[in-house]
A and B are shown apart, each in its own frame.
Chain A
Amino acid sequence: MSVELDVFVGNTTIMDKEVYQLWLNGYTVNDAVKVRIEGGVMEECEASADVLLSDTMDQYRTFQMCERLLHHPAKLANQLLFQIPPDRQAMLIERYYAFDDLFVREVLGKKLSKGTKKDLDDVSAKTGVSLKSCRRQFDNFKRVFKVVEELKGPLVENIRQHFLLPDQLARDYAAIVFFANNRFETGKKKLLYLTFQDFAFCAGQLINHWTLGAVDSMMEDMDVDLDKEFLQDLKDLKILITDKDLLDQHKSLVCTALRGKTSVFNEMEANFKNLSRGLVNIAAKLINAKDVRDFFIDLVEKFIEPCRSDKWTSIDMNLFLTHYTNSAHILDTFKHHAVWTRYMGVIKSCILRMYHD
């Protein structure tokens, strides 16, 4: 004796947010029922376990049917099969494209390829995010990547419009796409202290200031690649460390400005040349794709770590970077003001964001 068939179809599709989340998290029907029972729905509504099982199966089926629509969210608004109120549609999309920070941290900057996908079971084991959920998140990244890769115009805006995502989520996806495209190294041990949000912030800075789109949004090329011309120009900054006079002059200007204003003045003064060399060298090397990948690790090794060992506070850091940037403009023989500003603006924000424990 068994229920052979059991369906419920509403004119307005009924979807339970809680069950949706369980489905997204990769729970099996039976596990989801267990979770729901523990959640106390049963007492609330005088239901039995059977009822809960039937409801859960039904909802899972609905979600599965909706899934192919969720792959192209714009279709969800146009399709006729399910009548879903707009706010529900937005909820479905937003949650479907939501991701775990822990998971994304693992794949950030990796190539979104089959190979990476094969390794997802390791990622799942490491992060505690179920494999099913990992796959969904990975496929989302890949899908978004594929669609916006070829589009011109602002990256965030493209993502927002093609996937109907809320602003913040669209920005996060922009970061993921940007990282995947430029293959930034984020997995090294020294970088592990950084959260996804740290990287997302940096990506936002890079996208807004260093890509071609940042200069002219209607250019042929787009937001996902760094502005080659700019990278080329960065080589000119080398003069700041190769010209001994300039370097000294720069140092004395910064020191004059900071004297008495910071408790780590001595350490700063002693380290100035090293730090400056670090920053300028990063700039000069960015023209090589390989060095782009190491951008974050370089920042940490060449600048953040020395400062941290000298126990700089972030106020010290802010002060130093401000004066370090501004002083360069006063240097007589230094001509590359525009490039310098464009470079240091991003470097400053990134370092400030990354300078924490």
Chain B
Amino acid sequence: MPGKLKAKIVAGRHLPVMDRASDLTDAFVEVKFGNTTYKTDVYPKSLNPQWNSEWFKFEVDDEDLQDEPLQITVLDHDTYSANDAIGKVYIDIDPLLCSEAATVISGWLPIYDTIHGIRGEINVLVKVDLFNDLNRFRQSSCGVKFFCTTSIPRCYRAIMVHGFVEELVVNEDPEYQWIDRIRTPRASNEARQRLIFLMSGELQRKIGLKVLEMGGNAVVGYLQCFDLEGESGLVVRAIGTACTLEKISTLPSTATHQSNSSPSKDMKEPVFGEEVPGIPLSSGPPTPLRAQTFSSFSPSKSYSRQSSSSDTELSLTPKTGMGSGGSAGKEAGPLKALLRQQTQSALEQREYPFFTLTSFPSGFLLHVGGVVSARSVKLLDRIHNPDEPETRDAWWEEIRQEIKSHAKALGCHAVVGYSESTSICEEVCILSASGTAAILSSRFMQDGPLDTEHRLSRQPLVFSTGSERVEGDMGSSASLGFEEVVPPGCGFCHIPYDELNIPFPAQLTYCYSCRRSKVPDVLFTTIDLPADANITGKGCLIQARLCRTKKKAQGEGNATAISNLLPFLEYELHTQLMNKLKLRGMNALFGLRIQISVGETMLLGLASATGVYLTALPGPGGIQIAGKTPSDITYEQHISNMQKKINDTIAKNKDLYEINPPEVVEEIIGSPIPEPRQRSRLFRSQSESSDEVSELDLSHGKKDAFVLEIDDTDAVEDIHALLTDSPTPQGFYSCNTEIMPGIQNWTSAIQMFTSVRVFRLNNANLTNQGLNKIFSDLCENLLKSLYFKLRSMVPCCLCHLNFTVAIPEDELIQVAVTAVAMSFDKEQILENGKQSGEKTLTKAITENDEQLQFNLELNPESSHANPLSSPKGLSEVGSHPSARASSMEKASPLPEGRSRSLRSNRSYSGTSVAVVKMTPLSFIPGAKIIKYLGIINMFFIRETTSLREEGGVSGFLHSFIAEVFAMVRAHVAALGGNAVVSYSMKECVFMENPNKNQAQCLINVSGDAVIFVRESELEAASVQPQSTTHTSNGGEGT
């Protein structure tokens, strides 16, 4: 009996009227956990019942605690007929099971009904008493922490990174069970919600067990997905990175960090925990993806019949290791091999050397090889035995093996920024996996803690603004490394593979930063830009969009057709990406995410990434157009016109993104970088350096010529399409990575949002080109709308722009975007990196945000207890301008005593709701996360049979998304948190039937609940003496 769960139902408010006659409700509550149910008394005739129940106690196994949600049902008592359900609340107990997370759940939670949406709120208290259980064979994994964040969470330090964990569970989908024919939609939805809750609990527990087995205590980068396979079942699967984390004692370290780090520290290295401050970040290896690569791109689709258990299982696997077409270089270059052996062996013990992290503790990521990906088309069949989900496991295993071999071909022993996804249409399912091949340091894979010197040393931030180059301080980094030392600003770009044995054609040059190693000319990765990477100018969002029609087909024929189309789709996406990258004068992509969606009559491909100019890489060449058949003059003229347009665009973009790399390369070589030692440590061969000069010349030659041949109208269209991407409006930047390369001085104003659009194609007969244009316009227009909506935040950057495309029906395209808009101080861009902790400027936006903050300071008790005097008290607390104070005054609750005939349904007892921030990023600008309260993973279904009355499809979805946000916020607040970080909407499945006036939508969201405090408050709280220990670290300030 290792756990006692206790729940208390306090009160309800804003309940709906359930009894038309009296306009009131006789509400009571059922509290259910596992098979035990308790009931409160009926609180008659009130819309604001005060149950104030006893503590309901459940004595349960901790295994159940992990799997089961606490289920609270609010009902209306009816003497003569069956009691009517008002709605439910599911509470995930998991955060209470970990000593470092939340200790109590207490607060107002929305009562949710799948047909009516939110129907009032209920105030509950939930606690867990956990007894230690030392049973070796236990099935639970209480205490393992889960994080959605794909980096080491702030306020933790990574002791060990153990590696990849994965698990999947399958079940029958209640929606497709025979019983669904006779039960109500509500019952069916609830069965589904509950099942998915149970399944995710079970999944998390199983993953936790694996982590414990590996000796870890946490999962970072936890990514859980649902596959709604329809008839064949429901799959819940998850991947993550097992780690051993150590909490950093908050107070002392906070103070030190506060004082010694440069003020904008938080913004500059949002990537990893502040706990691991010093370690030089070398992540994001180069992706040698060139257009030429694709000539060698051999879609080795092995349309092979698998002879596994199931009868008609198809495996159509177009193996598209991007950029790794051939598999020439099986092994890493001999030169570096020595150094890596240690790591290699550490990694080889693992089945899959995969990491779901996208940014890393400094020094962890050494080199990046490029993007690796694999896709496979499968035919779904019924999952016969849910307890043995072998088929699905085998499918993923196959794909992971492929990824592993692709990485090997790139001379890499690990894959970072790894993720998996599916797209399902009827019985066809595309499984995709992608990541970035990389070489990692063994530092975090060895046992034993890091030496302290390491943690203390702080790497200067290497950012370049405009044309000014800021050198990384190599000296200090040298002292840090204990194996292969790489210069922090460029090391990750250095090729990991043997240059004599390149797995694909690529043009290598010497690194433009350090001149010691070779780098590719273009780099594609799925990870975030390493915090200390040297970049020039700013980055921007780059998207390739593609639509391909396909014939309607069934079964195997359909799967074959799709798998035949896939390679072409990917090829074109890459060409588009490459062209657009060059058009912007950039040479690297980060956060690359390619989504391929399958529908009955078309395939959609959307590739998003953030383009940057890596200083270490050669500048991209222009784009040259060549007519295939130079026949007549007008044609020539046409071509030269186009060429001019392209050149103009490139020049304009370079201006826009402030890309003006240093022309004089020699200077850099002469710069006082202390390398001899490093070089020797790196065992770089002499020949390498002797080539330097000639290589240099070459790089400045005309290697740039990237030729687009126009041989037919399609090609012309393509080029036109290239040029149609409209630039972001003045004051806006956008990226799909955590932070915008080149911007650091964020203010605290953030605005997370979700936008969904569905587009109907009425023309049945559209060409590929026509479809492309529609799809591209759809995305572009959506972006334009976002810019317009958020114009009040300018100057601002849309970060972590995450597009999800789907084909919900034959002629529908759905695009959903979740992102966060963050304002920054323009004035401070110029002073590189100075001052951003304290805001010198009080912008309107900042003010806005402060108001939110102010609201947060509201003390519910004080305003509650003494309503009349509260306004004064409040304004004192805030000491804000009077306008604000007065607005608070207005919001003060009413003195109930005064009202004679306030009907009982009118309650003003509550106080203002606490503000909860949400962001898809792992950090909150200008604030410090002091505690992680646990993972938020929620699944909701909403259905309506009165679509028109709810404002049509838009009205329906609008209120549903708002409700989901509200429920996430309420649960976070109940855990005691004030923000959700790493928030994502992983699923938004929308189905409609306007003729029947019906619609249904499923949404799955996740994130990490946290408590943050403003940095300004921290500073005020602890006036610590400037610690000299830090500044002593040689050559910090640049």
Contact = CB atoms under 8 A, between A and B. Distances in A.
A62 B962 CA distance: 10
A6 B886 CA distance: 36
A162 B751 CA distance: 31
B954 A6 contact: yes
A6 B954 CA distance: 6
Contact of B812 (A4, A44, A55): A4
Nearest to A157: B898
Interface string B882-918: 0110111011111100111110001010111101111
Contacts of B888: 86
Contacts of A158: 898
B14 A11 contact: no
Contacts of B757: 3, 5-7
Contacts of A54: 785
B762 interface: yes
Contact of A1 (B730, B759, B851, B912): B759
A67 to B, nearest CB: 12
Interface string A327-343: 00000000000000000
Contacts of B752: 10-11
Contact of B953 (A5, A51, A87): A5
- Indicate the member of A11, A62, A162, A166 with the most B CB atoms within 10 Å: A11
B628 interface: no
A253 interface: no
Interface string A32-68: 0000000000001111101110110110011011000
A52 B791 CA distance: 12
Interface stretch (B214-222, B524-532, B709-717, B963-971): B963-971
A161 B852 contact: no
A4 B957 contact: no
A65 B954 contact: no
A10 B750 CA distance: 10
A79 B788 contact: no
A86 B877 CA distance: 15
Contact of B951 (A1, A61, A78): A61
B729 A87 contact: no
A13 to B, nearest CB: 8
Interface string B767-797: 0000000100000010011111111000000
Given A81-B118, A166-B890, A153 B898 contact: yes
B848 interface: yes
Given A5-B756, A52-B788, A80-B121, A57 B898 contact: no
B848 A85 contact: yes
B957 A7 contact: yes
A79 B110 CA distance: 10
A158 to B, nearest CB: 8
B760 interface: yes
Chain A: interface secondary structure?
A: mixed
Contact of B789 (A2, A55, A57, A78): A55
Contacts of A83: 913, 915-916, 965-966, 969
A90 interface: yes
Contact of A11 (B110, B751, B762, B883): B751
B758 interface: yes
A264 interface: no
A131 interface: no
Interface string B337-359: 00000000000000000000000
A4 B788 contact: no
A51 B781 contact: yes
Given A11-B965, A80-B108, A150-B900, A89 B753 contact: no
Given A74-B893, A83-B969, A5 B788 contact: no
B928 interface: no
Interface string A145-162: 000001111000010111
What interface size band does chain A fall in?
A: 35 or more
Nearest to A10: B753
A74 B893 CA distance: 7
Interface string A301-342: 000000000000000000000000000000000000000000
A201 interface: no
A72 interface: yes
A45 B791 contact: yes
A151 B900 contact: yes
A1 B753 contact: no
Contacts of A47: 784, 787-788
Contact of B759 (A2, A46, A86): A2
- Indicate the member of A64, A90, A166 with the most B CB atoms within 10 Å: A90
Contacts of B958: 7, 9, 58, 61-62, 65
Nearest to A78: B910
A1 to B, nearest CB: 5
B848 to A, nearest CB: 6
A74 B894 contact: yes
A14 B751 contact: yes
A81 B953 contact: no
Nearest to A57: B954
Contacts of A79: 14, 913
Contacts of B762: 1-2
Interface in B787-838: 787-791, 812, 814
Contacts of B890: 90, 93, 160, 164-166
B101 to A, nearest CB: 23
Contacts of B917: 11
A194 to B, nearest CB: 30
Nearest to A164: B890
A151 B901 CA distance: 6
Contacts of A72: 906
Contacts of A89: 887, 891
A5 B814 CA distance: 9
Interface in A127-159: 150-153, 158
A82 B891 contact: no
A86 B884 contact: yes
A82 B963 CA distance: 8
A190 B812 CA distance: 65
Given A1-B760, A61-B954, A85-B852, A51 B788 contact: yes
A45 B962 contact: no
Interface string A171-207: 0000000000000000000000000000000000000
Contacts of B790: 14
A3 B779 CA distance: 12
Contacts of A150: 900-901
Contacts of A162: 894
A8 B789 contact: yes
A113 interface: no
B568 to A, nearest CB: 25
Contacts of A44: 791
B917 to A, nearest CB: 7
B763 interface: yes
B761 interface: yes
Interface string B953-997: 111011101110110011000000000000000000010000000
A87 B887 contact: yes
- Closest 7 pairs between A and B when the two form their complex, measured CB to CB: A90-B887, A5-B758, A164-B890, A10-B753, A150-B901, A11-B752, A78-B910
Given A1-B762, A55-B788, 20 more contacts: A1-B759, A4-B758, A6-B757, A8-B789, A9-B962, A10-B752, A10-B789, A11-B751, A11-B917, A14-B789, A44-B791, A46-B787, A55-B785, A61-B958, A77-B913, A86-B888, A93-B890, A151-B900, A160-B890, A164-B890
Interface of B: 13-14, 108, 110, 118, 121, 729-730, 751-763, 774, 781, 784-791, 812, 814, 848, 851-852, 854-855, 883-884, 886-888, 890-895, 898-902, 906, 908, 910-913, 915-918, 951, 953-955, 957-959, 961-963, 965-966, 969-970, 990
20 contacts: A1-B774, A5-B756, A7-B954, A10-B789, A11-B751, A45-B729, A46-B730, A46-B787, A51-B785, A55-B785, A72-B906, A79-B14, A80-B121, A81-B959, A86-B888, A86-B912, A90-B887, A152-B898, A161-B895, A164-B891
